[in-house]
């Protein structure tokens, strides 16, 4: 039996998850870049590279999560259409 949840809570959970998918890689990569800059005395090089890498990683994660959500919603729509035909 499938558990029914409020769509508002599902959207809030999705938004919360997207926030983590964006901020964690961005902050992590920029801190790693800052650390590498202090170790190698190449001030903005690794920091900027870390920011760019964090943006790329966040973008990839958001696209993957969104495509999974779209696939899930389309499967549910197909299932509900099949139920209506019966």
Q: Report the 3 state secondary structure along 30-84.
A: HHHHHHHHHHHCCHHHHHHHHHHHHHHHHHHHHHHHHHHHHHHHHHHHHHHHHHH
Residue 5 CA to residue 9 CA, distance in Å, equals 7
- The pLDDT of residue 1: 46
pLDDT in tens, 18-49: 999 999 999 999 999 999 999 998 889 999 99
Q: How far is CA 1 from the centre of its chain?
A: 29
């Amino acid at each position: 039996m499938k558990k029914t949840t409020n769509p508002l809570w599902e959207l809030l959970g999705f938004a919360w998850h997207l926030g983590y998918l964006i901020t964690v890689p961005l902050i992590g990569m920029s801190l790693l870049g800052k650390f590498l800059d202090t170790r190698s005395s190449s001030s903005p090089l690794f920091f900027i590279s870390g920011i760019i890498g964090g943006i790329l990683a966040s973008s990839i994660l958001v696209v993957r999560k969104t495509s999974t959500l779209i696939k899930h919603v389309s499967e549910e729509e197909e299932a509900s259409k099949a139920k209506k035909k019966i």
